């Protein structure tokens, strides 16, 4: 009866007459849902599945999930979710919406939006601009800030539960060989053991919250040009009550897997700039690996259930391979990028960072953003002159060294971005790397004054407050960086980054 009712419900929702529209109803299939697009509405029905991580096997369970979906998503995507409905089997055998008959199924009603406004579609179209990525990072940071803390859950035991689900998912898949999954599962258990103490400490510190749980590009859309989260996990409090960085890592992994390394790195950096959660930086590659493993077995499950094989095998395999690769972390390093105002330090740092360290790349420690944070204002807000007093600047550079050391000690790589005009500041950042025993490379972006003036005059937006007058004072002081490697800044960004990478000394083997 359940199978018959779901088939009948699917037929009802694919009928243009039900929706009062002409033409075919578009249907989108996922591993646990079907979405029906008709006119100005989207209707989402849970598939009657029972998997290791979700049970939608009865209409009552599906109805409860629909109600929970409305409750949770209305907070992050106001105006998108309209309500949920009972699909009932009436006395005459026909199906009805919210009728008095027996419950046959349930469906969520939403306002339809253009599929082109989904971030996964925008990624395909090449529209993931830095401004959009920064806005998305800000949105996720605000969401996590407001998400309720859940005590007594999370930590290493919760991640062990995720690994249990992954292993159960691979066990029912016929795509991967048993020898592969055995090695795969062993590597993840070893990684979990390495991170257990930090995971438990973060749980005690309130980093485990009721999050989104399914935070990838397809579940973010632009509504009135603002990125919004929707379609969170509603069927499992356990899967959605996670470390905030594990929640973020699904988005980072999705971007990295699709080939948008720079976007992943920018989202990570802007998120950490806002939250200050650098203490969990070392967990990001592990969290991303777990997310990739989830996608591997979920995609393989579609094949097991008779999904279309075209592309699914390659997709599942690519997630599987990425998950293993993410567990191998290269040795850390610190690269400091110096130069006068207008030399392009920030642009170079942002292009270089994805190439350093484990995905999602190096943490960028930027003096301008730290200074703005000290004054409690957004990075784009112009500060008054007294914010640049010598004592304030010394404090900024001390904080840069502290943050760089924090990341290096966790095994992460750092790109430090500042003018580094005073020799003492250059010595301090270099000493931080030497003290921890990690490689250091100091770079000086050299450009002629005419180019520097032009860059400062035409610069729009960003965290720098430097004016032409500020640059002129720098030029008059004849700042020099004799011990750091000179890099010609009068070139395309790609050429500059290639040059920098050629100066990096080899590090030790990757730790897996």
* 400 within 8 A of 365, measured Cβ to Cβ: yes
- The contacts of residue 140 (CB under 8 Å, 6+ apart) are 215, 229, 247, 248, 251, 267, 271
Q: Which residue has the tokens 């729009």?
A: 460
All structural domains of the chain, each given as residue ranges with its CATH number in brackets, are 2-112 (no CATH), 119-326 (3.90.1200.10), 334-503 (3.40.50.300)
- What integer is the mean pLDDT of 479-505? 92
- pLDDT at residue 108, as a whole number: 97
pTM of the model: 0.91
Q: Has residue 47 got a pLDDT over 70?
A: yes
Tell me the C-alpha distance between 388 and 194, whole Å: 42
User: pLDDT digit string (tens) for 234-268?
Assistant: 999 989 999 999 999 999 999 999 999 999 999 99
**Which H or E run includes 492?**
none
Q: Are strands 102-111 and 81-89 parallel, antiparallel or unpaired?
A: antiparallel
**DSSP alpha helices (H): ranges in 341-490?**
345-352, 367-374, 390-409, 423-436, 449-458, 468-476
User: pLDDT digit string (tens) for 1-16?
Assistant: 556 789 999 999 999 9
> What average pLDDT does the chain have?
92
Q: Which residue has the tokens 């907070």?
A: 75
Q: Helix axis angle, 284-304 relative to 178-204, nearest 10°?
A: 140
- pLDDT at residue 460, as a whole number: 80
- What integer is the mean pLDDT of 19-36? 91
Predicted confidence band at 172 (pLDDT cuts at 50, 70, 90)?
Answer: confident
Helix or strand or coil: residue 133? helix
Tell me the C-alpha distance between 19 and 40, whole Å: 10
Q: Has residue 303 got a pLDDT over 80?
A: no
Rounded to 5 degrees, φ, ψ at 493 are -55, -45
How distant is the alpha carbon of residue 403 from its chain centre?
A: 21
Predicted confidence band at 505 (pLDDT cuts at 50, 70, 90)?
Answer: confident
- The contacts of residue 175 (CB under 8 Å, 6+ apart) are 300, 303, 304, 313, 316, 317
3-class secondary structure per residue, 359-386: CCCCEEEEHHHHHHHHCCCCCCCCCCHH
* 119 within 8 A of 133, measured Cβ to Cβ: no
Q: Has residue 308 got a pLDDT over 60?
A: no
- What integer is the mean pLDDT of 328-355? 94
Among 198, 217, 212, 271, residue whose Cα is nearest residue 241: 212
Supply 163's token pair. Answer: 């690994």
Least confident of 29-33, 65-69, 187-191, 198-202: 29-33
* 424 within 8 A of 430, measured Cβ to Cβ: no
The total of other beta-carbon atoms located within 10 Å of residue 413's CB is 26
User: pLDDT digit string (tens) for 342-401?
Assistant: 889 999 999 999 999 999 999 999 999 999 999 999 888 888 888 888 899 999 999 999
* 362 within 8 A of 265, measured Cβ to Cβ: yes
Among 241, 251, 248, residue whose Cα is nearest residue 272: 248
Q: Has residue 212 got a pLDDT over 60?
A: yes
- pLDDT at residue 2, as a whole number: 58
- What integer is the mean pLDDT of 122-144? 97
Helix or strand or coil: residue 510? coil
Supply 82's token pair. Answer: 């309209």
- pLDDT at residue 99, as a whole number: 95
Least confident of 51-65, 152-166, 294-308, 322-336: 294-308
Tell me the C-alpha distance between 397 and 401, whole Å: 6
The total of other beta-carbon atoms located within 10 Å of residue 304's CB is 13
Tell me the C-alpha distance between 415 and 437, whole Å: 16
The C-alpha R_g of the chain, in whole angstroms, comes to 26
- pLDDT at residue 467, as a whole number: 81
User: pLDDT digit string (tens) for 454-474?
Assistant: 888 888 878 887 888 888 888
Least confident of 7-11, 113-117, 508-512: 508-512
Beta pairing partners, 210: 241
Among 284, 279, 363, 294, residue whose Cα is nearest residue 327: 284
- pLDDT at residue 91, as a whole number: 93
- What integer is the mean pLDDT of 318-333? 94
């Amino acid at each position: 009866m359940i199978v018959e009712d779901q088939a009948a419900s699917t037929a009802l929702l694919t009928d243009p007459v039900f929706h009062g529209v002409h033409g075919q109803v578009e249907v989108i299939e996922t591993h646990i849902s079907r979405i029906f697009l008709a006119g100005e509405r989207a209707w989402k029905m849970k598939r009657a599945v029972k998997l290791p991580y979700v049970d939608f096997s009865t209409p009552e369970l599906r109805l409860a999930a629909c109600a929970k979906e409305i409750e949770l998503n209305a907070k992050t995507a106001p105006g998108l979710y309209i309500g949920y409905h009972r699909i009932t089997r009436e006395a005459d055998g026909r199906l009805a919406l919210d009728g008095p008959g027996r419950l046959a199924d349930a469906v969520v009603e939403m306002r339809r939006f253009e599929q082109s406004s989904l971030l996964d579609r925008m990624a395909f179209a090449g529209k993931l601009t830095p401004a959009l990525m920064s806005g998305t990072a800000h949105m996720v940071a605000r969401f996590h800030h407001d998400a309720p803390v859940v005590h007594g859950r999370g930590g290493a035991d919760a991640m062990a539960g995720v690994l249990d689900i992954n292993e159960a998912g691979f066990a029912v898949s016929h795509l991967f060989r048993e020898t592969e999954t055995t090695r795969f599962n062993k590597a993840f258990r070893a990684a979990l053991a390495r991170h257990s103490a930090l995971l438990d400490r973060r749980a005690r510190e309130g980093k485990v919250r009721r999050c989104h749980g399914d935070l990838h590009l397809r579940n973010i859309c632009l509504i009135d040009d603002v990125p919004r989260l929707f379609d969170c996990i509603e069927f499992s409090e356990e899967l959605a009550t996670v470390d905030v960085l594990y929640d973020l890592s699904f988005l980072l992994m999705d971007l990295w897997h699709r080939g948008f390394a720079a976007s992943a790195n920018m989202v990570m950096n802007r998120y950490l700039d806002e939250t200050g959660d650098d203490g969990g930086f070392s967990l990001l590659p592990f969290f991303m690996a777990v997310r990739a493993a989830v996608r591997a077995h979920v995609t393989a499950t579609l094949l097991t259930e008779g999904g279309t094989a075209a592309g699914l095998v390659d997709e599942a395999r690519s997630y599987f391979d990425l998950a293993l690769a993410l567990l191998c972390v290269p040795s850390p390093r610190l690269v400091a990028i110096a130069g006068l105002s207008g030399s392009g330090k920030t642009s170079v740092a942002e292009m270089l960072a994805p190439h350093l360290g484990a995905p999602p790349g190096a943490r960028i420690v930027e003096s301008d953003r730290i200074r703005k944070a000290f004054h409690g204002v957004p990075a784009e807000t112009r500060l008054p002159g007294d914010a640049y007093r010598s004592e304030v600047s010394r404090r900024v550079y001390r904080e840069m060294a502290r943050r760089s050391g924090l990341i290096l000690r966790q095994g992460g790589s750092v790109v430090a971005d500042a003018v580094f005009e005073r020799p003492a500041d250059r010595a301090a950042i270099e000493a931080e790397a030497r003290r921890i025993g990690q490689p250091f490379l100091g770079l000086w972006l050299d450009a002629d004054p005419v180019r520097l003036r032009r860059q400062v005059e035409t610069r729009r937006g960003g965290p720098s407050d430097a004016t032409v007058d500020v640059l002129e004072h720098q030029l008059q002081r004849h700042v020099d960086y004799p011990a750091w490697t000179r890099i010609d800044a009068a070139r395309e960004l790609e050429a500059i980054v290639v040059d920098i990478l050629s100066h990096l000394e080899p590090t030790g083997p990757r730790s897996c």
